[in-house]
Structure 1
């Protein structure tokens, strides 16, 4: 049953990748069929007792039904990064993924076989004989697997090397093995204290009479391809396009393809290549450095948490708030985070960083992310079952989320502009990752980084600086605009935030600070 009913995506992708219309590719597919059947059998044969076998089989039917649904409908692969994202998803976010199609599949291919497997009666055999039988069976399976691999070794070398994501669509083995891997990584990384490898954070200028305020907006699932500011043909940024002094960075790359990776990575001193999400909790991040330097640092969350980034600073959580205008159904609309922002800025006495973590364009229920009056593109898909919507309806709903994000960012800039008589301010916006909207049959996000399309990795980034901030910091706007022609990534966020807020530590690298060339003479990378 696992081989046939739960692995549609696996077999379709495998045939598409490996079938060449010749005997060799046909032999490979036959050997792979045998190999998968044997390995699936091994999942249960290694268990010592009937009760344990039946219990595990029941759980795996449920797991296979759930995982195969998302793999088949959205092209999702069940690797460790995706499972890590699943484990960090809150109940509200999970409800947005529940649909009648999912429930029907879990009932028919999950619950029913999970119950039926308990009706299987195995003969009572003495434990020593049972052990010998199992040993013979396992030895036989390993021999068959070895023969299957040997029979098409050249094809397997290509399959395992060039088409790695396909193996993470094999049910129920892929989600099971990935979940075990995540658990081991977590167990290996748990315990111990947080280490500050960046040294003491220190101010580079005396405390100023006027506070600096940086509003850092962490976008969710916004892809650069659908930003008007990046050249998209649709007017998805009507308000930001009219903002004087706004700088958009058209070539920006994310650190990961899922929130659980990208958010801790963008605030880390480590580059994407050096970053390990399982080790991230061990090290302080840029928000810790700013707090250590004497700044007030606040994290406002309208998403599924800060992924460990904000554990040592002030946190405000908007998920679950009840508000007739801005909080409906699951999440609040992102404007909820702005309600008391003017009053908060009026009360500032110290340099301050306020992070707004948006729900943004989180799918598949895109139409739930914006108020009805922002439904500019119609007809829009209003279902979380994207397969029931047209391609145009999905894109329309997604583009409406970008229009609403445009409005939220423009409102934030206006709040900062109105406070310009009291504070020196700037806004920095960057999305955590992008999204697939049906291109190449892919939906949502979370593919392994090496194989993910650019739509999941190319993200929008923009900046706005108040006139008073530019005077205070010596930043030249035309220079910043010229910087926008360069390529940037999440690797630049840590250093740009430190530089903009006049804070340095030994991890600060001026070559990664976007604004450093525009503050006059280039500063040395050690901040001396």
Structure 2
């Protein structure tokens, strides 16, 4: 007797994949889905959150243990509410899918660079450009995004939820929201003193809770921006701008150089042991200000603040576009004004003046792919200076020391300190390699500034000129586990807030204004800030307005009577 075997035809590969995908992952309810997803976020995407929370609040004992448990419960409920409040299953799935990607990216930058996802950081994200994004891309980041972002985002759509009426689902969600809120408030009430300490004394911790922090910060930022619309009338607090000196046959030229991410701690002119300013240190007529504090820890805040008449404590970046700024005042005073940008834009400061964007330049002498060195902004300067007939202000917005790809900010042949980190994944480099690469960027900035001063000196026979350089903010190079910049100002380390600033004046300018450099140097060690920039530039331009403050003009007390004070 022969047994006949029934052969079952094998399905094609694509059909088997589709069949397995259709099988899905069974979940008992919408509520269970929300709490499971929130638990995964809290457990796998919040390493930095728990590190900071433990560093701030943990101490041996039952009280601290109970607080950490209650913090877990509160955070879990908060993350679950992100999904429970959405009215439909489709929205809940879509939100969970998108938030897995957000959480993956946020967790990567929080863990690797110590980034804090507050409104200022989200403003930086929204205002970034392609070059800055490219500098952050890495194999580790893509792997992180795929494993913790893309794969979970796709699996969300494979979850099978039971077929129930919308009334049943609404009732379940309402009950779950009440329970979640109740547990959250109960946990906070039972440990109210510890929660008060965490929220008041350790505010950065809350901005690392993923994915809630980037979502809430972005919503808050957009809401503030909508409340302060740019279509409101432009306000001119300066009033009439007047010149304080008689017209001269010699044009007055001011170079305002806005550095990027240069920190004072690594400037040779300020006492740093390494030769990061070999060329500037040999230039006569230069004054270095040793104790300068920035207005913010990011370009998006510091640049508008620099050109605002308002001091840091009164400045609000979302309102800056409503007011005229320093460049508007210089225009009214009769100057030709031009903004040259090799960074991520002027942040609205140059809205009413001529500008040149060098990021898209293809000059082979200075550009490598999408990255151009700051010297690209100087290529035509000798010819420009030769043809200047009117008083002129040129602003140079440098790429400077923008990280994390420090080694891309200077030509390879100008690498002084070796070995230098050549990766944008700083965590893969030693501390010395990171410092070497960063110091190379400062040495290149030194070279660019020295060239600008040399060009002005060459034109001294027919122009009176002054150069003022200041960095927008500083940088963390791994100290205390922090990299880059953008920390909330109140909690940012000194290296992110203390910046280099220097002033150079040509012999012709010194004769014209009777500015005494010995006097200027005597006060150069006093604490100053970005607040002085607006008023110092007006003073240097021999101009005055209704908001000019002589006390904030670094040159005011050092001009003799012949300088038309």
TM-score range normalised by the length of the shorter chain: over 0.9
1:1-40 paired onto structure 2 within 5 Å: 1-40=40-79
How many Å apart are 1:104 and its aligned residue? 0.3
How many Å apart are 1:349 and its aligned residue? 1.0
Q: Does 1:221 align with 2:261?
A: yes
TM-score, normalising length from structure 1?
0.98
Determine the structure 1 residue equivalent to 2:141. Answer: 102
Determine the structure 2 residue equivalent to 1:290. Answer: 330
**Cα distance in 1 for residues equivalent to 2:508 and 2:124:** 41
Off by >6 Å, runs of 4+ in structure 1: none
Determine the structure 2 residue equivalent to 1:441. Answer: 481
How many Å apart are 1:126 and its aligned residue? 2.0
8 Å Cα contact 2:225/2:318 also seen in 1: yes
How many Å apart are 1:112 and its aligned residue? 0.2
Which secondary structure state, in structure 2, belongs to the residue aligned with residue 462 of structure 1?
strand
How many Å apart are 1:124 and its aligned residue? 2.5
Q: Does 1:211 align with 2:251?
A: yes
8 Å Cα contact 1:298/1:315 also seen in 2: yes
Determine the structure 2 residue equivalent to 1:266. Answer: 306
TM-score, normalising length from structure 2?
0.92
Max Rg structure: 2
8 Å Cα contact 1:67/1:171 also seen in 2: yes
Which secondary structure state, in structure 2, belongs to the residue aligned with residue 459 of structure 1?
strand
Determine the structure 2 residue equivalent to 1:366. Answer: 406
Determine the structure 1 residue equivalent to 2:178. Answer: 139
| 1:149 aligns with one of 179, 188, 198 | 188
Which secondary structure state, in structure 2, belongs to the residue aligned with residue 427 of structure 1?
strand
8 Å Cα contact 2:512/2:563 also seen in 1: no
**Cα distance in 2 for residues equivalent to 1:101 and 1:505:** 52
**Cα distance in 2 for residues equivalent to 1:208 and 1:361:** 38
**Cα distance in 1 for residues equivalent to 2:360 and 2:216:** 33
Structure 2 vs 1, CA of residues 523 and 15 (structure 1 numbering), >3 Å: closer, same or farther? farther
1:264-343 paired onto structure 2 within 5 Å: 264-343=304-383
8 Å Cα contact 2:513/2:562 also seen in 1: no
**Cα distance in 2 for residues equivalent to 1:329 and 1:487:** 41
Determine the structure 2 residue equivalent to 1:472. Answer: 512
Determine the structure 2 residue equivalent to 1:520. Answer: 560
**Cα distance in 1 for residues equivalent to 2:362 and 2:96:** 41
Q: Does 1:383 align with 2:423?
A: yes
Deviations 1:467-526 (A, max 9, x none): 1111111111111111212111100000011111011110000000000001136999xx
1:484-523 paired onto structure 2 within 5 Å: 484-520=524-560
Number of residues of Structure 1 aligned to a counterpart in Structure 2: 525
Q: Does 1:128 align with 2:167?
A: yes
Which secondary structure state, in structure 1, belongs to the residue aligned with residue 318 of structure 2?
coil
Q: CA RMSD in A?
A: 1.2
Determine the structure 1 residue equivalent to 2:202. Answer: 163
**Which region of structure 1 is more displaced relative to structure 2, 349-358 or 322-331?**
322-331
Which secondary structure state, in structure 2, belongs to the residue aligned with residue 250 of structure 1?
strand
Which secondary structure state, in structure 2, belongs to the residue aligned with residue 460 of structure 1?
strand
Which secondary structure state, in structure 2, belongs to the residue aligned with residue 446 of structure 1?
coil
Deviations 1:143-187 (A, max 9, x none): 111110111111111111110001101100000000111111111
| 1:242 aligns with one of 273, 277, 282 | 282
Stretches of structure 1 that go unaligned for 5 or more consecutive residues are: none
**Which region of structure 1 is more displaced relative to structure 2, 338-347 or 253-262?**
338-347
Which secondary structure state, in structure 2, belongs to the residue aligned with residue 13 of structure 1?
helix
**Cα distance in 1 for residues equivalent to 2:486 and 2:527:** 23
8 Å Cα contact 1:331/1:359 also seen in 2: no
Deviations 1:382-421 (A, max 9, x none): 0000011111000000000000000000000000000000
1:190-209 paired onto structure 2 within 5 Å: 190=229, 191-209=231-249
**Cα distance in 2 for residues equivalent to 1:474 and 1:231:** 29
Determine the structure 2 residue equivalent to 1:179. Answer: 218
Deviations 1:33-92 (A, max 9, x none): 111111110000000000000001111000000011000000000000000011100011
Deviations 1:198-231 (A, max 9, x none): 1111212232100100000000000000000000
| 1:189 aligns with one of 223, 228, 240 | 228
Which secondary structure state, in structure 2, belongs to the residue aligned with residue 450 of structure 1?
helix
**Which region of structure 1 is more displaced relative to structure 2, 123-132 or 253-262?**
123-132
Stretches of structure 2 that go unaligned for 5 or more consecutive residues are: 1-39
**Cα distance in 2 for residues equivalent to 1:125 and 1:284:** 59
Which secondary structure state, in structure 2, belongs to the residue aligned with residue 168 of structure 1?
helix
Which secondary structure state, in structure 1, belongs to the residue aligned with residue 338 of structure 2?
strand
Which secondary structure state, in structure 1, belongs to the residue aligned with residue 372 of structure 2?
coil
**Cα distance in 2 for residues equivalent to 1:285 and 1:351:** 18
**Cα distance in 1 for residues equivalent to 2:355 and 2:417:** 35
Which secondary structure state, in structure 2, belongs to the residue aligned with residue 78 of structure 1?
coil
